Chains A and B, each alone.
Chain A
């Protein structure tokens, strides 16, 4: 087993990057990552995740800001002197070298003797559970196996930071879960500070100690998975992480912890002001997750008409059209034989609890 390497801390300090083409890919990003943490960089395609990763690795010199690893500002160090391990999305194994040569590549570059190299690469191949593949070529391995080799190769140099760029995107669903567990296990064993880039929110929430959500080059929120999921700070985070119904409305009254909001759909509800106090009379967007809505029998809540019902295994999702014509989704746990809602049935909906509806000032 790998000895814990006591990962070093990583600070991304006000980093901005503009490509020569003029594209502003990353804008004033601040991240303070503790040694040994596993962080997910989450955002839609094109939001600047790869750019930030390549800046940390040293392949791109950022336009502004600093990268600090441990106690060192590494901005002037080339990639081969940063001791940052990378696993590329396409694995980027050297196709002409055997698996053990691939794993030992970084050790050879450090001038380590052949015997030690061989011992190390065998130890790492055992760590990623591929001890018998040493003499094969990369193309003789499956995608999941290649990924394990890529991991072993990155870990071989005992990096202070491990970066993974969309590592599981090319794997099918079952294999993806296996590899997520595998990476998490290796990270626990080695204690390496790890940054995983992903556009898959489930992956980010399940694997990371903290999640950094990016949108259009800006950091939207940096917090624990439950912070990001339960207490989103921006409308973007609320809708990108998990699914969410967006309902427009007007603030009736508000203080720091609660706001009464009149929904356009026709009901007054209590919601949590996500970004501080809301101004009375201002327009807001209220986000309520499908699983946080319930059918109510009385006159509370807002009225709607059931459109379609989708049984999705453990839950059933109903599509409801509200009085103002917008669509709302509500998901219910499937307990026994759930009462089938007929299309066209009139229902009333309300949030399960005030803290589960988030109100954001409407952007113009």
Chain B
């Protein structure tokens, strides 16, 4: 049985090896972030007057707050869909033969091998008024008038869930693969049925994977600018597009900067909730 301290020691040497990456981050991540923060502390577009006006504006403006809220909600919905659909696939992966495993991995990874723009347009073709779903349902006589699928919250969630699915499934596969298969058998021989075994043994022991998957999916879903904008269309506004409009179209850089800082903090808050949960559940991982 692996013990945690042995792997912890790895961080105690070789910090110098991380220097190139650290420099890279310093120049291309930390510096722009500092500049962004500096810019957000100005009350006018020209950046001459210091003040917290941009933040006050955002936090007192119902429209801005609703954009933030719907973005965080979108992330939660996409994450939930990925978890509910992804878990059975990861579970199945651990129970089939090697040939089926290859096929499952291929299908799961396929979205990563195509451009996000192409994938998103594919969803437009599928969800549109004359799209594949509506055409099929109409020709089967199930519906008379086309359903509105594109440019809806439902459409965005489904398209994003498909795009982010690998981020959920891969950590789940790893976590499920680490569970000793004898535990299933032990549970069963002690009289537990498959559902009890799942909820009392498999699910708790896969929690580290669930949390890793949720963190990745969530972070990716709320920042997915292209899919959000193309499938969501003009009616729905999420933080990335809001930010883009303020910066590019309206040239209001201080406000755009404040939006990014607030968005960043909101995302960090959600992610740190996930990681705290992860740390609590890590206690289970020593299987």
Contact = CB atoms under 8 A, between A and B. Distances in A.
B6 interface: no
Given A80-B191, A153-B190, A94 B183 contact: yes
B188 A80 contact: yes
Nearest to A82: B189
Interface in B171-213: 180, 182-183, 185-193, 196, 200-201, 204-205
A92 B186 contact: yes
Interface stretch (B40-48, B152-160, B279-287): B279-287
B113 interface: no
Interface residues of B, number: 23
Contact of A86 (B186, B196, B285, B287): B186
B189 A80 contact: yes
A95 interface: yes
A92 B193 CA distance: 17
B190 A109 contact: yes
B1 interface: yes
A236 interface: no
Nearest to A95: B287
B189 A79 contact: yes
Contacts of B200: 94, 105
Contacts of A139: 1, 286
A14 to B, nearest CB: 24
Contacts of A93: 186
A106 interface: yes
A208 B186 CA distance: 24
A153 B192 CA distance: 13
B191 A157 contact: yes
A143 B191 CA distance: 25
Shortest beta-carbon contacts, A-B, top 5: A106-B190, A92-B182, A96-B284, A109-B192, A109-B191
5 contacts: A80-B188, A86-B186, A92-B186, A94-B187, A154-B189
Given A85-B190, A92-B185, 9 more contacts: A59-B189, A80-B192, A81-B191, A83-B191, A84-B189, A88-B182, A92-B183, A105-B187, A139-B286
